[in-house]
């Protein structure tokens, strides 16, 4: 079958908590369109990885969907204009981020015409996606600037290419949307289910998954029914199952949903692809549909605007770069009631540094609470070691131990407790009777570890560069010495040749002048031969002491005896 209401068996995940959803505030209305703002502020970094490189300059006229910045590096995504108008500035501006930092943004003064650039769809709804190659689809997704819209912001094309190479068996579509207040995914599935299903089919084709499991919490009956009816219109070969899972926070966590649907656990500090699974969000699937079937880049997204200080809670289709102040005013923000303005939900969201920051690809919800609506924890008290944090942790970690080591800044110890497996869901902080902001400590520790790692990498790079330089200089010195030796050897040979050359030339010249004159070498040999002959002749002559008479020999002996005695007398006298 291509659909089902539930699997025969669901697996539980550890920990988790039951929360009041507060979703009916905003999920009962249709999706409304945001009013076009006079100015759009579009950050060039709306994704994990390197910011896009600006391709426009001040004064340029741009069309809706026109590229403003190309992807820079292997993990990056392009950014597009979400409205037509004139580029008036390219400068730093405050962006919605927990750090409260600024980022390079393109400012567009809109002209109100909303004129689109040329869009090039790959396929129509009447055609079969089997006619397209995976590379065609992935290139279209990459050019459209699509990233993970469930919060990860990882460039989708990069993720899909990796999954394709790793032969993924199962595609999990995250439709749980477990955070309180947020309903943008819920309303998307209710109102535009076909976009979701067609996008899912494209993803499934790229990664080559044999099956697709859509996990949706059981508190979204309208969305579930809409998907069920839509997929029933396709043949049974789609192998897509829609599964309702119990509503328990954080069932929408990637690792938790995979465990609930498949019973498989993603390894520590690992990825779903390590166990043959890839997970995508329903809003990402819809964005992929728009890129392939309509040729439209990612220039807008659905944003939930809700909370007690909003007169008309709703879900709004908002062009990226729209100032948050504009959409809050459109939804009826009552400034007299405001206590907090949070981007995201109450568990994992963060307070906005300013409502003049722009909507980005990461903006899924703006929660404007009234006084007393959200709990404001009192000052933290000492830990009483009750272990409630451990019991509620969906990753089976030990938050109490992580807290102690993070507080002591013992970064090695805190890593021993797998701090990077923490998904920062906030369950531990929520149940802590001492109101310790545990997640803040964990974020601090992660940041410190990353900073230390960056410094180590810098030191390693500097050391490697120094060692390489020393090695290069040593090689250059050795090469120079060898060159000098060879040069000296060549000079010696040349000198020897030069010394021998005049002699050879003299010999040659003498031979030419006196051809009958013997060579000097021959004259030398002749002289040596004459000397040897003379010596031999002398040795052959008889000595004057040969053939003496007896009387002569006796006289010589007497003379020799007298010489000997004189010599001895002289020695005795001295």
Out of 1.10.10, 1.10.260, 3.30.70, 1.10.1060, select the CATH number for domain 381-512.
1.10.1060
Pairing of β 102-110 and β 170-174: unpaired
Which one, of 398, 422, 201, 400, lies nearest residue 293 by Cα?
201
Tens-digit pLDDT profile for residues 78-90:
999 999 999 999 9
Tens-digit pLDDT profile for residues 235-272:
666 789 999 999 999 999 999 999 999 999 999 888 99
Q: What SS3 state is found at 136?
A: helix
Which one, of 349, 367, 281, 359, lies nearest residue 323 by Cα?
359
Does 14 score more than 70 pLDDT?
yes
State the span(s) of the chain assigned CATH 1.10.1060.
Answer: 381-512
What's residue 6's pLDDT? 45
What's residue 237's pLDDT? 65
Sequence-distant (≥ 6) Cβ neighbours of residue 365 within 8 angstroms: 179, 181, 182, 184, 303, 304, 305, 306, 343, 344, 345, 349
Indicate the pLDDT class of residue 41, thresholds 50, 70 and 90: very high
Q: Please give the structure tokens belonging to residue 207.
A: 């990664």
What percent of the chain has a predicted confidence (pLDDT) above 90? 69
The owner of tokens 């993970």 is: 148
More confident residue, 101 or 282: 282
Q: Please give the structure tokens belonging to residue 246.
A: 């119990």
Q: Are 102 and 94 in contact (CB under 8 A)?
A: yes
Whole-number average pLDDT of the chain: 90
Indicate the pLDDT class of residue 277, thresholds 50, 70 and 90: very high
What's residue 269's pLDDT? 83
Q: HEC states along 519-547?
A: CHHHHHHHHHHHHHHHHHHHHHCCCCCCC
Give 497-515 as a DSSP string.
Answer: HHHHHHHHHHHHHHHHH-T
Range 132-151 average pLDDT: 95
Does 574 score more than 80 pLDDT?
no
Range 49-68 average pLDDT: 96
Distance CA 196, CA 324 (A): 26
Angle at CA of residue 222, ends 30 and 233, nearest 5°: 100
Range 397-425 average pLDDT: 94
Tens-digit pLDDT profile for residues 460-515:
888 888 888 888 989 999 999 999 999 888 888 888 887 776 766 666 666 666 66
What percent of the chain has a predicted confidence (pLDDT) above 70? 92
Distance CA 405, CA 392 (A): 20
What's residue 300's pLDDT? 97
Task: Give pTM, 2 decimals.
Answer: 0.79
What's residue 513's pLDDT? 62
Which one, of 110, 98, 237, 256, lies nearest residue 178 by Cα?
256
What's residue 3's pLDDT? 44
What's residue 510's pLDDT? 63
More confident residue, 35 or 559: 35
What's residue 96's pLDDT? 93
Distance CA 409, CA 436 (A): 16
What's residue 1's pLDDT? 39
Does 8 score more than 60 pLDDT?
no
What's residue 449's pLDDT? 92
What's residue 515's pLDDT? 63
What's residue 5's pLDDT? 47
What's residue 332's pLDDT? 96
Indicate the pLDDT class of residue 539, thresholds 50, 70 and 90: low
State the span(s) of the chain assigned CATH 3.40.50.11540.
Answer: 32-370
The owner of tokens 């060898």 is: 482
Does 4 score more than 60 pLDDT?
no
What's residue 239's pLDDT? 85
Q: In the chain, count H helices and then E strands.
A: 15, 17
- Assigned CATH for 32-370: 3.40.50.11540
């Amino acid at each position: 079958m291509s659909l089902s209401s539930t699997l025969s068996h669901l697996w539980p995940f550890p920990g988790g908590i039951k929360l009041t959803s507060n979703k009916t505030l905003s999920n009962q209305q249709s999706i409304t369109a945001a009013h076009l703002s006079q100015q759009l502020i579009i950050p060039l970094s709306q994704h994990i990885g390197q910011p896009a490189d600006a391709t426009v300059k001040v004064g340029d006229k741009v069309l809706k969907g026109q590229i403003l910045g190309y992807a820079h590096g292997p993990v990056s995504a392009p950014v597009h204009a979400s409205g037509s108008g004139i580029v008036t500035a390219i400068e730093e501006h405050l962006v919605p981020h927990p750090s409260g930092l600024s980022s390079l943004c393109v400012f567009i003064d809109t002209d109100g015409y909303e004129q689109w650039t040329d869009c090039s769809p790959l396929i129509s709804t009447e055609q079969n996606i089997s006619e397209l190659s995976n590379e065609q689809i992935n290139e279209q997704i990459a050019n459209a600037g699509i990233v993970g819209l469930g919060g990860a912001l990882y460039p989708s094309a990069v993720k899909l290419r990796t999954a394709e190479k790793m032969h993924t068996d199962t595609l999990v579509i995250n439709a749980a949307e477990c955070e309180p207040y947020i309903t943008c995914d819920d309303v998307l599935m209710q109102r535009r289910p076909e976009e979701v299903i067609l996008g899912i089919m494209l993803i499934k084709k790229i990664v080559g998954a044999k099956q697709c499991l859509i996990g949706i919490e059981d508190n979204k009956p309208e969305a579930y029914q809409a998907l069920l009816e839509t997929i029933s219109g396709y043949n049974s070969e789609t192998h897509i199952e829609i599964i309702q899972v119990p509503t328990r926070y954080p069932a929408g966590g990637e690792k938790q949903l995979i465990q609930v649907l498949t019973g498989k656990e993603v390894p520590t500090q690992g990825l779903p692809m390590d166990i043959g699974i890839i997970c995508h969000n329903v809003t990402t699937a819809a964005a992929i549909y728009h890129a392939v079937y309509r040729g439209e880049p990612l220039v807008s997204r659905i944003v939930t605007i809700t909370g007690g200080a909003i007169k008309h809670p709703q879900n709004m289709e908002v062009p990226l770069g729209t100032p948050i102040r504009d959409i809050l005013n459109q939804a009826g923000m009552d400034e007299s009631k405001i206590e907090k303005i949070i981007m995201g939900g109450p568990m994992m969201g963060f307070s906005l540094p300013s409502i003049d920051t722009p909507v980005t690809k990461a903006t899924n919800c703006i929660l404007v609470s009234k006084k007393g609506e959200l709990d404001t924890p009192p000052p933290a008290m000492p830990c009483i070691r009750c272990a409630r944090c451990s019991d509620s942790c969906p990753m089976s970690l030990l938050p109490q131990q992580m807290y102690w080591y993070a507080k002591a800044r013992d970064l090695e110890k805190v890593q021993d407790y797998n701090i990077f497996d923490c998904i920062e869901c906030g369950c531990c902080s929520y149940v802590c009777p001492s109101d310790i902001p545990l997640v803040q400590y964990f974020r601090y520790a992660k940041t410190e570890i990353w900073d230390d790692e960056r410094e180590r990498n810098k030191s390693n790079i500097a050391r490697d560069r120094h060692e390489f330089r020393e090695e290069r200089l040593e090689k250059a010195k050795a090469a120079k010495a060898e060159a000098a030796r060879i040069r000296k050897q060549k000079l010696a040979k040349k000198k020897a040749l030069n010394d021998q050359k005049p002699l050879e030339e003299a010999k040659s010249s003498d031979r030419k002048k006196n051809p009958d004159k013997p060579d000097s070498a021959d004259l030398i040999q002749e002289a040596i031969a004459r000397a040897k002959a003379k010596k031999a002749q002398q040795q052959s002559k008889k000595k004057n002491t040969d053939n003496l008479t007896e009387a002569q020999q006796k006289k010589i002996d007497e003379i020799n005896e007298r010489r000997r005695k004189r010599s001895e007398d002289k020695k005795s006298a001295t």
